[in-house]
Amino acid sequence: MTASREAHLDGCRIVNMETTEKHRAIEALRALPEHATIQDASERLCFIAKIEEGLRQSDARQLVSHDKVEKQFLS
C-alpha cells in the first residue's frame, strides 16, 4: 500500500497507512461516540480490517470481475 492512501470510515480518518495497526485501532476507537459499546468497537475494528484487506488485494491486482461475482450469487 502506498503511504499516501487515505480511507474515510464513518468519520474516522486513517491518514497515514504506514502507522502501526495498534495506532490505527486506537484512533478508530477514539472516533466512536462516548456511549459506544464493546460490540460497536468490535464491529468498527472488523470493518476497518476488511477495508484494509480489500485495499491490499486491489493494490495487488487480486480482483474478481463483476461477471464472476454475479455468477457466484446467482448459482
Query: Does residue 5 register a pLDDT over 80?
Result: no
In tens, the pLDDT along 30-64 reads 999 999 999 999 999 999 999 999 999 999 999 88
Q: What confidence tier does 21 reach under pLDDT thresholds 50, 70, 90?
A: confident
For the chain, what is the HEC assignment? CCCCCCEEECCEEECCCCCCHHHHHHHHHHCCCCCCCHHHHHHHHHHHHHHHHHHHHHHCCCCCCHHHHHHHHHC
Domain boundaries, the chain: 7-74
Q: What confidence tier does 4 reach under pLDDT thresholds 50, 70, 90?
A: very low
**Pairing of the two strands 7-9 and 12-14:** antiparallel
Distance (Å, whole) CA 3 – CA 19: 9
